[in-house]
Every structure is written in C-alpha cells, then in structure tokens.
Amino acid sequence: MIELAHFQVVSAALFAIGIYGVLARRSAVLILMSIELMLNAVNVNLIGFAAFGDFTEGQRALGQVLIIFVITIAAAELALAIAIILRLYRNRSTVNVDEISLMKW
Amino acid sequence: MPITPSLALFYVVGALALGGALVVVMSRNIVYAAFGLLASMIGVAGLFLLAFAEFLALAQILIYGGAVVIVILFALMLTRIEDFENLSDHPQWPVAALVAIAVFGLIAATVVGTTAAASDRQGLSFTALGRNLFTEWAVAFEVASLVLLVALIGAVVLVRGGGSRD
C-alpha cells in the first residue's frame, strides 16, 4: 500500500542529492544537472499530493497542471543555461565554476 | 505492512530515481553522470505512473529522456571533457554532504511527524486534465508558451552573437 509519505520521502531524498550536487560539483554542466534533479523532486512532491490528498477533481488537476508548468520552465531554463555555458566556454575556455569569478566582488 | 505489488514497483522506480541521482552527483565520468540523469528521469516517470498520471509520465520521458539529456550530452561534447577527471573533489564537499543530510533529515522528520488529510490513490483522466488546462489555466498556458519562445530566441542570440555586426 503506497502512501503519501513514500512520495514525500523520495522527493526529499532527490532534493537533498540535488543540493549536494550543486554545492560539491565544479563543472557548470553538472551543477545544471543537479538543478534539474531538484526540480524533479518538487514534481514528485506535487504528484504525491495530487494523487493522495483529500481534494476535489479541480484541485487534483491543478496539481498536474503545475507540474506541466514546472517541466516547461525547466526546459526554458535549461536552454538558456546551456547557451550561457557555451558562451562562457568560448570566452574563457573553461566551465569550472571556481575559475569563473567575473561577477565576484 | 504487507508488500503489495504496487509497493514493490514503487521501491523499484524509487531506487532507479535515487540511484540515478547518486550517479549524477558521484560519478567521476561526466558522460556516466548524463546517463545517470536519464535513469533518474525514467524513475521519476515511473513514480508519475504509480500516481496514475499517465500524461505526465509520457511528457517526462519525452522531454527529459528525449530532449534534456540529449542537449546536455551536446553541451558536454562542445566543452572540454578531459578537464572533468578530478572535478568531483571540491574542497567544500564535506560541508555540502552535511547540508544535504541536514535538509533530508529535516524534511523527512517533518513528513513522518505530520499527518496530512489523505485519501485513497486517485488518478485524473486525460480528458479532465486537458479540460482544466485549456479552460481554467488557458492564460497561464499561453504565458508559458511565450516564456518558451523568449527563452529559445534568447538562447540563439546568446550563442551566435559575438558583438560583430554581420
């Protein structure tokens, strides 16, 4: 018997792994992948509540619609971030975030 | 607690999602990390299926499995891959692990200690989802399409514009 808590714990674990990736990896592309993991953790949480919460049909639909928007925004964000990374690589010939300190005070 | 087939399936796809995610953040080889991301996304699609959200599972596999992983592999090919051999050893990784474990512990403790008003697992038909998306949330849908258009044009301008006119 699956319960809401199962989905929430998996979501929390995915989110924590994503946080670790963002903080510990040094390649900009890997940081981007970790951000995608965190966005997916949010989606898992949302679908858990949409499927198991004590809601009307319209509210369940809102949960799934929100997930569709999160996926859309994640795709847009990924396209822009990849463009920025390629641009950085062309200018500085590195994607190591430790060496990219252009905007550091 | 008896192990029902759906619970066993949940453990399988949950392990796939979390294992893929661990490969993403642990792997030394960055191409393996990209394939770990693919495995993780397929696991999340399985979770969507277990919540009776078939459309979301389809969209997840199409968008993440089809588009996102391919785009990331392209980004890896267009940047220098040899540099990444020793990139996972950031000096602050113990702090990162501590923060991640703390966040997980906090959320998991809150989840276990809270009872939400839960009902039986219920899905939503394609028809109901489509009707809701295109009537009640039609404006938000149009705005999202505009955001995608702006992001696409922005990405093209960013990559090709070199400050040179023509």
Interface of A with B in 67-86 (CB under 8 A): 67-69, 71-80, 82-86
Alpha-carbon torsion (A67, B153, B33, B54), positive or negative: positive
Q: Which residue out of B73, B76, B79, B150 would a mutagenesis test of the A interface target, given it has the greatest number of A Cβ atoms within 10 Å? A: B79
Mean pLDDT throughout A17-46? 92
For A23, half-sphere exposure in the C-beta direction (CA atoms, 13 angstrom radius) is 17
- Whole-structure pTM value: 0.89
Average predicted confidence (pLDDT) for chain B: 86
pLDDT(A72) > 90: yes
The burial of B1, by beta-carbon neighbours within 10 Å (0-12 exposed, 13-18 middle, 19 or more buried), is given as: exposed
A13: left (phi > 0), else alpha (psi -120 to 50), else beta?
alpha
**What ipTM was assigned to the predicted interfaces of this complex?**
0.90
Please name the member of A4, A12, A18 whose beta carbon is closest to the beta carbon of B108.
A12
User: pLDDT tens-digit profile of B23-75?
Assistant: 998 888 888 999 999 999 999 999 999 998 999 999 999 998 888 999 898 88
The first and second tokens of residue A36, run together, are 């995608």
Please name the member of A2, A11, A84 whose beta carbon is closest to the beta carbon of B10.
A2
Mean pLDDT throughout A46-73? 90
Whole-angstrom Cα distance, residue B132 to residue B128?
Answer: 6
Give percent of chain B with pLDDT exceeding 90. Answer: 52
